[in-house]
Chain A
Amino acid sequence: MDINLLFKIAAIGILVAVLHQVLVRAGREDQAMMTTLAGLVIVLSMVIQEISSLFESVRTLFNL
């Protein structure tokens, strides 16, 4: 696994948190919610390969 992925996810997390704060402060709660969801989806799409490889290795380990 590439360690850069972790840093990338951390950076996106921080930026989405800041974005959420800025939008809430400007009185746009709906958009703040949407950006948080978009951040979640982006991070999930980055992580999904790693998760699938984890399941694969578990399966091979126990011969399922």
Chain B
Amino acid sequence: MYIFIAQRRKIMQILKYILLLFIFSLSTAIGLLIAKMYENRVKELKEFKNILNIMKTKIKFTYEPLAEIFKQIAKENSSNIEKIFGKMINKINYETTEEVWTSCIQESDISINQEDKDILKRLGKLLGQTDVEGQISEIEVTQNFLDMQIEKAEEDKKKNQKMYKTLGIIAGLVFVIILM
């Protein structure tokens, strides 16, 4: 009987340490994930700028319809942003361009924040509505705004990335020590 109780206590002890390790790794992972979000935002904004550049060139020189341009952008389908354009292709035959553009940007599940999304959504108002000159100038305006957002995002990243990494690890350690 005593042996049985001692054995059970030992098992509980091991279980406790396993759970503490689990809490620590979870907290560290959350910290790293938030830090990663800041990095992803910069990357995605840069990618959007690049894609807008491609769109501008295509509108200027090949006069292809938007559906065709989206199809070419989404062809590789590797990053999250290219997947958004893939979604746009599916919808563009049934709704207006503005609706498709705004809804797809808004519903996209990426790291950019609401401010970035609003800037991108403003482009949808003129896309596919005016002549080539108007669209190109609108894309250029959006690119300038994106440049500003990229600068802001870089600043945020520099300020917050390291902090969240450290914060996750230390918060995990504090929890573990309190519960030990």
The reply to whether chain A is a binding partner of chain B is: yes
**Which residues of A come within 8 Å of B, CB atoms?**
8, 11-12, 15-16, 18-19, 22-23, 25-28, 39, 42
Q: Tell me the bound Cα distance from A23 to B30 in angstroms.
A: 17
**Docked-complex contact A12 and B163, CB < 8 angstroms:** no
Interface size bracket, B side? 10 to 19
Give the complex CA separation of A13 and B174 in angstroms.
Answer: 10
Partner of A25, one of B163, B173, B178, B180: B163
The A/B interface has a contact count, at CB < 8 Å, of 34
Query: What is the CB-to-nearest-CB distance from A32 to chain B, in angstroms, rounded to a whole number?
Result: 11
Closest A residue to B165 by beta carbon equals A22
B167 at the interface (CB under 8 A from A): yes
Known: A26-B159, A26-B160, A27-B159. A19 touches B167 (CB 8 A): yes
In the complex, are the beta carbons of B178 and A42 less than 8 A apart? Answer: yes
Q: Which residues on B are within 8 Å of A, measured CB to CB? A: 159-160, 162-163, 166-167, 170-171, 173-174, 177-178, 180
Contact A16 B174 (CB under 8 A): yes
Q: In the complex, A26→B159 CA distance in Å?
A: 6
Residues of A within 8 A of B170 (CB): 15, 18-19, 22
Whether B167 pairs with A22 at a CB distance below 8 angstroms is yes
